[in-house]
Chain A
């Protein structure tokens, strides 16, 4: 458990390793998209790391990367097919960022640096830690962007054709506040992420100095 927390905190893919920025900026206009994207990455990363750590001895070194990309691509394609069939609104709103998990630096990076070298148990732990960190970072960005930009928190919207209810929270009373709509536009994403990173640097830096 402590090991897991350490991975979440010290190897957070977004704020510390700076991996997978594309998707984190693009899908964070709604909280719902953020946690579902995190979940998708978790599923792909978990299965890829399991498969790679099982077959790592069979793969020759010089064709490692193409083989791993095909494995990751297979799981992404399976996920795409499932989502298209059962949660089509989500499939539409994630659009190209779902297939782009294939080239998401987090997945390939972790598969290459962790599961191609270590055993099954470490790989599973790493997959859980990394994708939890990714999901938390995504939710944090999405929360700030959606509350500031649209004055709402969308928890269940695209999922409503499975759950049969919607949960969209209005944060402030509508008539006395004007949302900053640029926060949900691309530039808001860059600015929020930049400010959050500066904050993390500040906190992390102070800790390092006190140690």
Chain B
């Protein structure tokens, strides 16, 4: 039961984009097309899940016993950066078509606050291993869901008459504000 509530929280009520503001840069930057938004979301989900597992194990079995938890920010960002680099190399070697589809989004993920944010939240929230896994997968999916929804709304808004000064970022942020209001109200 607890796992289900963690899952719902990650997906809707504590959506990383709309309530924790993690990953806003790609959210407003790359979400103009449905397809790119969806791919970006999937790439983030995969990287978040793998890096959460590695950083969680690193934190519990190396940093805590040696009493060096103050190094967590530095260690986590190194893990994420090298993981992204590694994934890029692996994908490039084994699947050319996958590389062409995901390749350009991967390097951007290193500086996406969502990944570092979720790995740090896992530690702050004191999750168990399974809880951590559930939370990272559901937040990744929540990110994908919201960025996809958002991109469809933006495609629709593109052809509408909007005040000149509201074009682009301002209207996108207002849309996000209304979505955040709705998502914050979903209580199960």
* Chain A residues engaging chain B, CB cutoff 8 angstroms: 18-19, 21-23, 25-26, 65-66, 69-70, 73-74, 76-77, 80-81, 95-96, 99-100, 102-105, 108, 182, 185-191, 193-195, 197-199, 201-202, 205
Contacts and interface: CB of A to CB of B under 8 A. Distances in A.
Contact of A187 (B25, B124, B184): B184
Contacts of A23: 21
Given A22-B21, A102-B77, A198-B165, 6 more contacts: A18-B169, A99-B73, A99-B120, A103-B116, A189-B177, A202-B165
The 5 A-B residue pairs with the shortest CB-CB distance, nearest first, are: A190-B177, A194-B173, A187-B180, A191-B177, A198-B170
A33 B81 CA distance: 29
Contacts, number: 128
Contact of B74 (A21, A73, A105): A73
A185 B164 CA distance: 28
B36 interface: no
Given A100-B116, A189-B21, A191-B177, A81 B170 contact: no
A156 B181 CA distance: 30
A182 B184 CA distance: 10
Nearest to A25: B21
Majority SS at the chain A contact face? helix
Contacts of B131: none
A190 B176 contact: yes
Residue of B21, B78, B166, B180 with most partner-chain A CB within 10 A: B21
Interface string B160-184: 0001111101111110111111001
